[in-house]
Amino acid sequence: MVKIFLKDGKELDFESAVPLFEAAKKISNSLARDAVAAGVNGTLTDLREPIQDGAHVEFYTKEDKEGLFTLRHTCSHILAQALQHLYPGIKFAIGPAIDTGFYYDIDSDHVFSQDDFAAIEQEMAKIIKENLPLEKKVVSREEALAYFKEKGQDYKVMLIEDLPEDAVISLYTQGDFTDLCAGPHVRSTGKVKAFKLMTVAGAYWRGDEHNKMLQRIYGTAFYSKEDLDHFLFVRAEAEKRDHRKLGRQMDLFSFHEEGPGFPFFHPKGMVLRNLLMDYERELFKKYDYEEIMTPIILSKKLWIQSGHWDHYRENMYFTQIDGEDYAVKPMNCPGGILYFKTKQRSYKELPKRVGEFGLVHRHELHGALHGLFRVRCFTQDDAHIFMTPEQMEKEVIGTLHMYQDLYSVFGLQYHVELSTRPENSMGSDELWEISTNALRHAIEDAGVPYVVNEGDGAFYGPKLDFHIEDSLGRTWQCGTIQMDMQLPERFDVNYIGEDGEKHRAVMIHRAGYGSLERFLGILIEHFGGAFPTWFAPVQVKVIPVAQSHLEYAKDVADTLAESNIRVELEEANETLGYKIRKAQTEKVPYMLIIGDKEIKSRTVSVRTRNGGDEGSRMLPVFIADLIREIKERSL
Distance separating alpha carbons of residues 485 and 507, to the nearest angstrom: 6
Is 376 marked active-site?
Answer: no
Residue tagged active-site, from 243, 361, 374, 463: 463
DSSP track, 18-39: -BHHHHHHHH-HHHHHHEEEEE
Distance separating alpha carbons of residues 364 and 362, to the nearest angstrom: 6
SS (H, E, C) 333-396: HHHHHHHHCCCCEEHHHCCEEEEEEEEEECCCCHHHCECCCECCEEEEEEEEEEECHHHHHHHH
Closest CA to 599 of 544, 559, 561, 557: 544
Residue tagged active-site, from 72, 187, 362, 579: 362
Distance separating alpha carbons of residues 586 and 572, to the nearest angstrom: 15
Strand pairing report for 377-387 and 352-361: antiparallel
Residue tagged active-site, from 333, 465, 526, 579: 333
Is 308 marked active-site?
Answer: no
Residue tagged active-site, from 374, 509, 518, 541: 509
Residue tagged active-site, from 105, 382, 470, 484: 382
Distance separating alpha carbons of residues 2 and 51, to the nearest angstrom: 8
Contact by Cβ (8 Å): 4, 52: yes
Angle at 413 between CA 634 and CA 289, to 5 degrees: 75
Q: Say if residue 208 is exposed, middle or buried (CB neighbours under 10 Å; 0-12, 13-18, 19+).
A: exposed
Write phi, then psi, for 35 (nearest 5 degrees): -65, 135
Distance separating alpha carbons of residues 376 and 259, to the nearest angstrom: 9
How far is C-alpha 45 from the chain's CA centre? 27
Residue tagged active-site, from 380, 391, 486, 539: 380
Work out whether the CA dihedral 521, 522, 528, 529 comes out positive or negative.
negative
Distance separating alpha carbons of residues 370 and 270, to the nearest angstrom: 20
Distance separating alpha carbons of residues 316 and 318, to the nearest angstrom: 7
SS (H, E, C) 508-522: EEEECCCCHHHHHHH
Residue tagged active-site, from 187, 241, 384, 541: 384
Q: At what angle do helices 619-631 and 550-562 cross, to 10 degrees?
A: 40
Contact by Cβ (8 Å): 75, 172: no
- How many CB atoms within 10 Å of residue 521? 26
Is 463 marked active-site?
Answer: yes
Is 244 marked active-site?
Answer: no
Is 361 marked active-site?
Answer: no
Query: 256 to each of 259, 261, 263, 268, 377, how far by Cα in Å?
Result: 6, 8, 8, 18, 14
Annotated catalytic sites, by residue? 333, 362, 380, 382, 384, 463, 509
